[in-house]
Amino acid sequence: MSQEMNTSSQILSAPNPGGVGQVGVASSRMQWLDALRGFTMLLVVMYHVFTMGFNGNVQKGTSLTFMMLFRMPTFFFISGFLAYKASAVWTGDYLASMLWKKFKVQMIPTIVFLLANLLLLYPDFWKAFEWAMRSPVKGGYWFCWSLLHMFIIYYIIAYILERFRIKGAWPWIVVWLISVCIYATLYMPSWFSWHKAPFWQYSSLVRTAEYFQFFVAGILVHRYWNRITTLMDTAWFYPIVLFLAFICCAENFHLHHFRLQWANLPRTIAIYSLVFIVVMFFRYYEHWFTRDRWVGASLQYIGTRTLDVYLLHYFFIPTLPMVGAWLKTAGRNFVLETIIPLAMAIVVVAFSLLASNIIRVSPFYKKWFFGR
């Protein structure tokens, strides 16, 4: 998670006077956005509790199989949304300072907690270290790796566009289209195999290629937030998005009319539809997610500590394969598969936040471990 993912959402960007049609986010605090980050973090922990703690198989599950479609895309969408600053002036010095800032926030804590994880949770540290370095998931800490890649790409492109005075949305639409095409090649194994090369695996760039499109989508949505919200508030937009989500999820999970690489098309449409539905839900019911409501206050607190929770939660996931076996015998039960991992995820998040607060007593650790 970036430092933006680790701090409460401020009064977000004002319009950039140099950009045609750019409209920033309204001047009110978007508390629901913090709550949405907290909700998405809970989904991440739920998934890890189910797969790592319960030894569950999401491919044969119900609720978590469904939530897996949009949990990480939503996280990267929010990251891109918060990364965009309309008032930023991309000089060489600013570019260098932002790259160094993101490297400190993303990589130093990730390396520290990854090494601690391998040391404490694996019997052979060096074998575990070699496995983590070779694997694109980096022992579970791939998110920070990939997010750093995305910030670097975003900052360099923003600097180039500023340097050559290229304005408007079309450059970012082109970047988004290119990222979608690269992502599509991951699901065309008979035609493309570049992502299987060791470099792309070891660097986690294969994960970056999978999710960068959602980061760019977040940038575009923030850049044209007022226009996007006007579109969201029309009478026809939400029904169409909901219909697309239903049809494409049905195709992805049940119907299977599309074959081979074409099967990824309805899956991708389902992902985008679900991301928009989640964003629109939290925005529409924003009064539920204020600090005056216990649900809103709780989710916001998690949302402002997403980096802490992400780095620490692996240490507190219990090993309970018997729970996974019991859920398997219970059949495809959407309610049970949601409630039980969620209850355990809340406990894991609570312990992660407690550990975070203990570590944060030290200003040194607070700065270098959590980017504050």
The residue assigned the tokens 């018997």 is 322
| Tens-digit pLDDT profile for residues 49-61 | 999 999 988 878 8
What gap in Å lies between CA 103 and CA 98, rounded to an integer? 8
Query: What's the angle, vertex CA 149, arms to CA 165 and CA 97, rounded to 5?
Result: 60
- Express each pLDDT in 286-329 by its tens digit: 999 999 999 999 999 999 999 999 999 999 999 999 999 998 88
Determine the Cα angle at 276 with ends 8 and 371, to 5°: 25
| Residues whose CB is less than 8 angstroms from the CB of residue 9 and which lie 6 or more positions away in sequence, other chains included | 29, 30, 31, 33, 34, 82
pLDDT in tens, 214-251: 999 999 999 999 999 999 999 999 999 999 999 999 99
Segment 158-171 shows an average pLDDT of: 93
* pLDDT tier for residue 29 given thresholds of 50, 70 and 90: low
| Residue 235, domain extent | 3-370
Residue 2 has pLDDT above 80, yes or no: no
When pLDDT is averaged across residues 160-168 and rounded to a whole number, the result is 92
Return all residues near 314 (Cβ < 8 A) that are at least 6 apart: 48, 52, 117, 121, 140
pLDDT single digits (tens) 110-146 = 999 999 999 999 999 999 999 999 999 999 999 999 9
Percent of the chain with pLDDT over 90: 79
Binned at pLDDT 50, 70 and 90, residue 1 comes out as: low
- Residue 65, CB-side half-sphere exposure with 13 Å CA sphere: 17
Return d(Cα 269, Cα 267) in angstroms, integer.
6
Q: What is the pTM of this model?
A: 0.90
User: What total of structural domains would you count in the chain?
Assistant: 1
Q: What is the 3-state secondary structure (H, E, C) of 158-177?
A: HHHHHHCCCCCCHHHHHHHH
Share of the chain above pLDDT 70, in %: 92
- pLDDT at residue number 73: 97
* Neighbour count for residue 260 (Cβ, 10 Å): 10
**Distance, first Cα to last Cα, the chain:** 12
If one compares 156 and 8, the residue with the highest pLDDT of the two is 156
Position 203 pLDDT exceeds 90: yes
Please list, residue by residue across 309-330, b when 16 or more beta carbons sit within 10 angstroms of its beta carbon and e when fewer do.
bbbbbbebbeeeeebbeebeee
